[in-house]
Every structure is written in C-alpha cells, then in structure tokens.
Amino acid sequence: MSHLLTGTPVPGLGDAVTPVRIRFQARSVSRVDDIVVVGTAPNKTEVAVSIGVRRQPKLVPSEADSVKLIGDFLHVARAKRTLVDSGRWKLALAVVPSCIPAQQLKALAEAAAAAGSWTEFQDRLRRPGGVQAAVRNRLTQVEAIVASLISEPSTQASRETWRLLSALHLIEMRLEGADCTDRTYSVERLRAVTPQRGNDAAHTLFAHLAERVGVYAPSGAVVDISRLHADLQGLGCFAPAHLPSLADAGLGSV
C-alpha cells in the first residue's frame, strides 16, 4: 500500500514498473490470490504479480497446504503461460526470513531463472558443488508435488517444475519480532506524502494504511490510487503528491 501511495517499485513486480492497482483476494483473476499488484512499465505495458502469502510453508508432498500452494502457482504459470513467459505476469511467494524451506526454494528459483532452459538447469544441478544437497532435496520434494498434480510423464513434471521455479520470486516479510525492517522502510517511503515529510506523520499514516487494509482485504477490494486518496482524504498526516490518473495510464481490467 505504501508503494502504491508513493508510486515506488514493488518487490516482485519489477524495478521499472510503477504500481497502479492492488486486488485483495483476487480469485477471479488468479488462483494465487492473496494479493495481485498491477503496474505499468515504461513502455506503458501492463505488468502483474500474483503474491501468495505464507509465514513458513513446509513445501513437502505430504502436507496438503503445500500441495495446494504449489498447485495454485502451477495453475497460474500454465493458464497464463504466454504472459508469464514474457514477464508480464509474475509469481511471488511472501514468507518470513526464518523459513528454511522457502530459502531453499529461493535458491532453486534463482538457479532456474539464471539457467534459461530446462536442460541447462539440469546441467547446473549435476555440476559438482553447484547445488547443496538440502537444496537438491527440496527440488525433489517440489517435483513430487508437481508430478502429483499433472497427469504427464515424470520428465514433463521436471520441466514444469523448472518453468514454475524460473518465474517465481521470493519476498521476505520482515514485519514482526525483533526485525521490523520492512515497516521502517514503509514509514520512510511515506514521508514523501506527508505535509512536512516528517517521521511522526509518516508513522501515523502507516497506521492508517494498516487500518484500511483491514477493511480492504476481507472484502476482496480493488484499490487504485484514486480510491486510496479518497479514503485518506482529510487526514492531517497526508499530503498527496501529484500522480497520473488511471485514465491517463490506459490500463485494463486486471
């Protein structure tokens, strides 16, 4: 929400992409539906990221929640294959930093994206010292989940796993316990839309945004900059910067 309000890049969406709309509980457009963020690239192309939020997923085939999570990501990756392959629709999993399975998944996702193809990914896995044993074992677990979800040969399941991993971005949520770094960054970001760019006002504005999310999320709201400005209107801690309207951006209906 702070990224939307200040027009700053959202992790997973792209550093050159300006966020313009957030959909909460967006099941109608994505099976990965906790949050879908839509933005525009410099060439006016629309880009979206589907974000699944889990604190500490186990990512094993014996756990139903893990199977559903991977299944939802796989469904989006296959149903929107053209968009995913072109980079116009991205996938992200948000977790806490202490989640070891997610850290292993992150290592796999980075290796898959760097490889550029399934065959090169397989070559990287076979290289001595290329991938840690624990990470390779996590790949086996994820491949087993994918294999259980598609009625295709094991080789195809391996390819589909690579395609999914190469499109996946891991987001660490540092918002609780001793590490609230992301909250601090959000408050710093919000200074740009407060009257005197002060920390106190930004802190208060952050609290108001958190309250708004408590309203938006349960109702599956679609929130753009115009709605957010209207909902924050009258707050002494908010001084909106000039931002382009959605009509000017020429966006679709995602």
DSSP string, 12-78: TT-TTPEEEEEEES-TTT-SS-SEEEEEE-TTS-EEEEEEEE-SS----TT-HHHHHHHHHHHHHHH
The total number of residues shown for the chain amounts to 254
User: Which pLDDT belongs to residue 151?
Assistant: 83
User: In one letter, which amino acid is 24?
Assistant: F
Bridge-based pairing of strands 89-95 and 222-224 is unpaired
> Distance between CA atoms of 208 and 96, rounded to whole angstroms?
23
Residue 169, pLDDT > 50, answer yes
Of 29-33, 129-133, 167-171, the least confident: 129-133
**Percent share of the chain, pLDDT over 70:** 94
SS3 180: coil
Assigned token pair, 89: 């629709």
Confirm if 92 and 171 have CB atoms less than 8 A apart.
Answer: yes
- Mean pLDDT along residues 32-60: 95
What is the Cα 190 distance to its own chain's centre?
20
| pLDDT value, residue 26 | 87
Distance (Å, whole) CA 224 – CA 220: 13
- Cα gap 122→155, rounded to integer Å: 11
Angle at 157 between CA 155 and CA 162, to 5 degrees: 100
Residue 242 has pLDDT above 80, yes or no: no
Read off the tokens for 163: 């395609």
CA distance 82 to 101: 29
pLDDT at position 251: 40
pLDDT in tens, 189-213: 999 999 989 999 999 999 999 999 9
pLDDT higher than threshold 70 for residue 20? yes
Q: 105 Cβ partners below 8 Å, 6+ apart?
A: 59, 93, 138, 142, 165, 168, 170
Indicate the pTM of the whole model.
0.88
Question: Across the strands, what pairs with 168?
Answer: 91
Instruction: Report residue 244's pLDDT band, with 50, 70 and 90 as the boundaries.
Output: very low
Q: What is the pLDDT of residue 125?
A: 87
**Torsion sign (Cα): 17, 35, 139, 144:** negative
Where do we find the tokens 């909250």? 183
